[in-house]
Amino acid sequence: MLALGCSMAWAGDARLQVLSDDDTLLVELPMPEGERWCLEWNHSVTGIRVQDCYRHDQGRMVLERSHQPDFAAGLGHVPGRGRQVSDGQGGYWIEEINEPVAGNRYRLRVGSDRVDHRLLHEGRRISLSALAAGERVTIHLRTPDTTP
């Protein structure tokens, strides 16, 4: 279920929200315990596809893994932060990052259509660039114990 510009309630359930700078709800997805999603985009210099993948883990947004097709500017594995494994196609995954995201939210300046920031969830791609290119948004895992 995708909600654009309106609030939808899942009583007692967690949800992933994308909010504009003025707190307008752009996207809202049910996100039960254990559910996974990714933020995917095209690297602004090389155009390669990059992914950061998260999961809902006991009420926390946790960065689980990251996919990087090469070592482009600003990309790469940091020793001690997960483990790097080949993706079998010339790129690599950084697995087992398992870092909780502070406050279950982070700010993102959404890229242009060329960068095309998009959420991947249950086989769907939701383009944040189509909704808010050039704007700052907050990506927030809202849980029942989170204040509105």
Q: pLDDT tens across 51-90, in order?
A: 999 999 999 999 999 988 766 544 455 566 778 888 887 7
What is the per-residue pLDDT for 88?
83
Q: Which of 98, 18, 91 is nearest to 58 (CA)?
A: 98
Residue whose entry in the numeric block shows the structure tokens 């079998």: 88
pLDDT of residue 146: 64
Alpha-carbon distance values, 24 to 5, 6, 53, 56, 101 (Å): 6, 8, 24, 23, 22
Q: Which residues contact 147 (CB under 8 A, 6 or more apart)?
A: none
Distance, in Å, from the CA atom of 116 to the CA atom of 111, rounded to the nearest integer, reads: 6
Residue 132 has what pLDDT?
97
DSSP 18-49: EEETT--EEEEEE--TT-EEEEEEE-TTT--E
Q: What pLDDT, on a 0 to 100 scale, did the predictor assign at position 58?
A: 94
Report pLDDT for 78.
Answer: 59
What pLDDT is recorded for position 12? 56
Give 54 or 4, the one with higher predicted confidence: 54
pLDDT, tens digit, 9 for 90 and up, residues 97-139 = 999 999 999 999 999 999 999 999 999 999 999 999 999 999 9
Cα angle for residues 108, 6, 18 (degrees, 5° grid): 15
- Tokens 């707190």 label which residue? 23
